[in-house]
Amino acid sequence: MEHRKLAFIGAGNMSRSLISGLIQSGYPADSIIAANPSRPKLDALAADFGIRTTQSNAEAANWAQALVLAVKPQMMAAMLGELLASGLRFEGKLLISIAAGISVARLQHLAGGHDNIVRTMPNTPSLLGLGMTGLYARPQISQADRDYCQQMMAAVGKTLWVAEEDGINQVIAAAGSAPAYFFLFMEAMAEEAQKRGFSAEEARLLVQQTALGAAQMVAANPGLTLAQLRAQVTSKGGTTAEAIRSFQHNQLERLVGDAMAAAVARARELETQL
């Protein structure tokens, strides 16, 4: 991919995931800088990946051709406001937001009218190269800038472009927030396995290996529907059928639907507040 000078503004969990993936895919370390107010995360990034670091957002932003805006949504206005106040000119720079709940229009406003902005929604498995990222750009964004974002996110996993900006909120519900749903499900299973006599380590092994195997089965069998894969496990009159019956009796599908709707609602609410 094109190796633009790339700055991560905010050096938290998601920046670490993305930087790790980019370095593993061959992005030159000296073309990446991370900025954060405090040193410890910067020091860890420098030690682990050999990238440049700074405690000055303005220094990183001035140097870079592309900026990943990777602070918490609640910090975005202050962070961009300070960059503008420092005299930074965004002209010629591509802004790539990974923040939930901040629209392109709002980012443009916060960036003093600069409109070369791509909105993305990655997730934490990017750290392992197994991320799932949604991307959205307004029609006027150049193909070169789209390709750059596409390649950046493809370096850390799979990508999906959405045609409408609200699609990013739908990606949040189905992928950005969703690793936590699976963790919650696994937590519940592991707790129950412990109650049934397994040690904590044994319970984790049982759940982790089964989740990994199930996800790999899905990925390895694109020709089978999820329902067909489930049917392969579900012997007539057997044990799985009873477990599935219990889930369905307790309306698992409704629970999942409500949870995803709640994530979308919160993303839309943030868009009106931040």
10, 125, 131, 134: residue in contact with ligand NAI (rule CB under 6 A) = 10
Q: Where are the alpha helices (DSSP H) in the chain?
A: 13-24, 39-49, 57-63, 76-85, 104-110, 143-154, 166-171, 178-195, 200-220, 226-233, 239-249, 252-273
Instruction: Please indicate if the annotation marks 11 as binding a ligand.
Output: yes
What is the chain's length?
274
Q: Which of 18, 80, 100, 203 binds ligand A1CAB (CB under 6 A)?
A: 100
Q: Beta strand 52-54 with 32-35: parallel, antiparallel or unpaired?
A: parallel
Q: Note whether 22 binds ligand A1CAB by CB under 6 A.
A: no
User: Which partner, ligand A1CAB, ligand NAI, none, binds residue 274 by CB below 5 to 8 Å per kind?
Assistant: none
CB of 176 to ligand A1CAB, least distance (A): 4
Please say whether the beta carbons of 11 and 21 come within 8 A.
no
Contact with ligand NAI (CB under 6 A): which of 34, 71, 107, 173?
A: 71
Distances, alpha carbon 144 to alpha carbons 4, 134, 136, 140, in Å: 11, 18, 14, 11
12 binds ligand NAI (CB under 6 A): yes
Q: Which does 31 bind (CB under 5 to 8 A by kind): ligand A1CAB, ligand NAI, none?
A: none
Query: CB under 5 to 8 A by kind: which of ligand NAI, ligand A1CAB, none does 107 bind?
Result: none
Range 177-196, binding ligand A1CAB (CB under 6 A) = 177
Distance, in Å, from the CA atom of 267 to the CA atom of 19, rounded to the nearest integer, reads: 25
Question: Based on CB atoms, which residue is closest to ligand A1CAB, 79 or 172?
Answer: 172
Beta strands 117-121 and 131-137, pairing class: antiparallel
CB of 123 to ligand NAI, least distance (A): 5
Residue 9 assigned ligand-binding role:
yes
Interface with ligand NAI includes 70 (CB under 6 A)?
Answer: yes
β-pairing, 52-54 vs 94-97, is: unpaired
User: Residue 88 to residues 63, 64, 81, 122, 172: CA-CA distances in angstroms?
Assistant: 10, 11, 10, 27, 31
* Residues 81-100 close enough to bind ligand NAI by CB under 6 A: 98-100
State the nearest-atom distance from the C-beta of 49 to ligand A1CAB, in Å. Answer: 22
127 binds ligand NAI per the rule CB under 6 A: no
| Nearest Cα residue to 94 out of 144, 132, 139 | 144
- SS3 assignment, position 112: coil
Tokens standing for residue 228 = 């067909």
Q: Is 172 in the site for ligand A1CAB (CB under 6 A)?
A: yes
Residue 219 marked ligand-binding? no
The SS3 of residue 79 is helix
Q: Which of residues 209-228 bind ligand NAI (CB under 6 A)?
A: none
Binding region for ligand NAI (CB under 6 A): 9-15, 35-38, 41, 57, 70-73, 75, 78-79, 98-100, 121-124, 176
